[in-house]
Every structure is written in C-alpha cells, then in structure tokens.
Amino acid sequence: MTDALTALDQISEDVTKLAAAINSTRTKSVSPLAVQPLARAIARGYFESVRPQLEEVQNRAGLIEEIDFVLQGILQLATMPREKQAYIGHISELRPYLLEATIDVMKARGAPHLVLSNTERAILQTLLKMLPSASASYEQALRDIAAGSRVSWRGTATELREVLRDVIDHLAPDDKVVAAVGFQLEQGQKSPTQKQKVKFILRARRSSSAAVAVAEMSLSTVEEAVAALARSTYQRGSVSTHTAANGSEIRNLKRYIDALLAELLEIA
C-alpha cells in the first residue's frame, strides 16, 4: 500500500492529467478510451491508500462520502462517451476535497508535509541525480523552513550554502577553471574562488555579461547573509526576537540561493 500523502500527490497529478485529456478533446463528447485508465488510477489510489487513512481520522465520514460519490461518478462517466462539461463538474468538486483530505492526514500525523514550488521540486530532482548528498541537505533546509520552529538557523544557513558550494565545485572543478584561457588566481588565494567558478560556468554557456555580474553579486549576498546569521546568535539578547528575525533572514537567503541554483542547474 502506498503512503497516503504520496498517493494524494499522485492522485492530484492524475486529476490534472485527466482535465488536460478532457480539454484537449476536439469533439463535444469524450471517448472512454481517452480517460478510462486515468479515472481508474485515481480511484484505485484513493480507495487503496487514502481512504483507509481517512477512516482513522475522527469526524471525517462526511468527507469520505463526498469523495466516494465524486469518484464513483467519474468512473461511471468513463464507461461511455460523455460531454466534457460532465467531467469538468466532477473534477471541480474533487480538487478541494483532495486538499481537505491532505490537510486531515497531515494533522493526524502531526508532522509537516513539504509543499514544494515548481523551482524547489526541479532543484531537488536535479540534485538527486547529480549530487545526492546535496539533495539531502537541500531537502533538510526546506523541512527546517517549513517547520519554522528552530531556535537557531545557523545550521540551516550552512546547509544551504554548502549545497550551493557543492554544485559550483561539481560544475567547475579547480583544474578546469585554472586551465581556462586568461585565468589568474586572486591575490592571496591558492585555488579559484567561488566567484571565479561561477563566472567560468556561465561564460562556458555563453551567458551575457549582465547575467554573470548578477550571479556574482548574488553569491556575495549569500556569503554575507550566512555570516550575518552566524553573528546574530551572539548579538541578539532575546531568544524570541533572535528566532523571528533569523527566520525572516533564512527565507531571504534561500530566495537568493534558489535563484543561483536555478541559473547554475539550468532550471527554467
């Protein structure tokens, strides 16, 4: 049996695919062949993996009955050619019920469930293939931010910075950067700096000078923000003030890092 939250995520994706299949039909009626496999997958995922969990949640009999009714209606529609509007009505009803079910399951477990943006999801998936350890660090940072209950955010800031460093080092190994035409070590440095590596990566892709400059400035901002978070632990006396301020700072830091990761990993 699939985990209920995982099943709900898949069901939501399948509902979106079902809606797309219906909307792409050029005729007034929808052929069963175009929608039946998706309709059955949605129902199977719900009845096998989600419904048993909802039954354990107190006072949710009404929600279960509503979802049962809508899904049975979709399965019935998929047995023969039907007008598009009939499907659209059922899908519009189903979506808020699925969201409600997700919230109920999360509350019952008492644990936060990550809700990712398209960029966050793409970064995680790309890192998982390229640098699994960096993917784990990025996911941990996302979970820390989602929970929002840390007393100190220094560890989260370090995780995010190291993810960025791992990606930069992977895409721009020292030997390749040093071998680039015209490269010179900065004064007092024994190896290429992170800025030089970012410039190497983007120039290799023939990125514009403006794009390279923005990336360099963003990298400087990240380093300054991480240092500021480390210092703030000792500068702020009130734990509550410290925690609230750092929570805001870590979210700002993540926005810069996400933008840089998206640029470096070529995520649209």
So what's the pLDDT on residue 176?
92
* Residue 97: count of CB within 10 angstroms of its CB: 18
SS3 93: helix
Nearest Cα to 166, choosing from 203, 138, 139, 187? 138
46-71 tens-digit pLDDT: 999 999 988 887 566 688 999 999 99
Strands 29-30 and 82-83: antiparallel
DSSP code of 206? T
Residue 256: partners with Cβ closer than 8 Å, 6 or more residues away = 218, 221, 222, 225
Angle between helices 239-264 and 118-130 (to 10 degrees): 70
Alpha helices in the chain (DSSP H): 4-24, 32-45, 51-55, 61-77, 84-109, 118-130, 132-147, 154-171, 174-179, 194-204, 209-235, 239-264
Q: Taking residues 200-229, what's their average pLDDT?
A: 81
Nearest Cα to 50, choosing from 37, 63, 39, 59? 63
* Residue 223: count of CB within 10 angstroms of its CB: 14
Q: Pick the residue with more confidence: 241 or 208?
A: 208
So what's the pLDDT on residue 126?
92
* Per-chain mean pLDDT for the chain: 83
* Residue 227: count of CB within 10 angstroms of its CB: 12
Least confident of 6-10, 33-37, 110-114, 194-198: 110-114
9-46 tens-digit pLDDT: 899 899 999 988 888 888 888 888 889 999 999 999 99
**What pTM was computed for the model?**
0.54
* DSSP H/E element including 113: none
d(CA 18, CA 95): 12
